[in-house]
Amino acid sequence: MRLLILAALLTCSMAYAGGSRVIDADSLTSADHTKTWNLPGASAALMPLSSYYTAFIGGSAISGFNVYASINAAIADSTNFPAGSRALIVANQTITAVQHITTANVEFDCLPGVTLTASGNTDGIQVSATRVKLKGCRLTGFQTGYSALLIDAGSNYTMVGEFWFASNVTNMTDNNGKSSTYGIINE
């Protein structure tokens, strides 16, 4: 039963007007931003992918989308990734420096199976802003003295859901007390 549930979680099939398919970093095309998709949690039944996500993290450049190498790169671009933005992390990330979220009211979703892996002594994701939402990522390899996910005091109303933690000394440090977590799995 657990294997069936895991298999279902690792497949991301999204329907669009005219068909459906699994999306991943290699299969997104410039035509995808004009298709209308049935996206979970979207305000409309069908909407263009670029209306739902402001940016993609990982993968190659796609016409019509802001594509960044890392969370830090998206946060640094306050013109194209301001408060109220939503990014989809489409490819595995090697974390060599903390990914520091300092912009309020932003969301980061991972495609199923996307893993953020520590490389060296660093925290993984650090939240220092209010109303940040993180969903669906797997964090692994964070060492003694470092957290895979660090939520700072004052980062009110942070929501973390459907996260997988594997082989970390400290999975999550919540210095805030006003954060919400759901669906956390410790592998």
Cα–Cα distance between 71 and 106 in angstroms, integer? 11
Cα–Cα distance between 106 and 14 in angstroms, integer? 22
Within 8 A by CB and 6+ apart from 186, the residues are 165, 166, 171
Cα–Cα distance between 77 and 80 in angstroms, integer? 6
Total structural domains within the chain: 1
Pairwise pLDDT comparison (96 vs 6), residue with the higher score: 96
Cα–Cα distance between 58 and 50 in angstroms, integer? 16
Question: Is the pLDDT reported for residue 19 higher than 80?
Answer: no
List, for residues 154-166, the tens digit of each pLDDT value.
999 999 999 999 9
Range of the domain at 156: 2-186
pLDDT at 105: 97
Q: Is the pTM of this model over 0.85?
A: no
- Average the pLDDT over 113-120 and give the result: 95
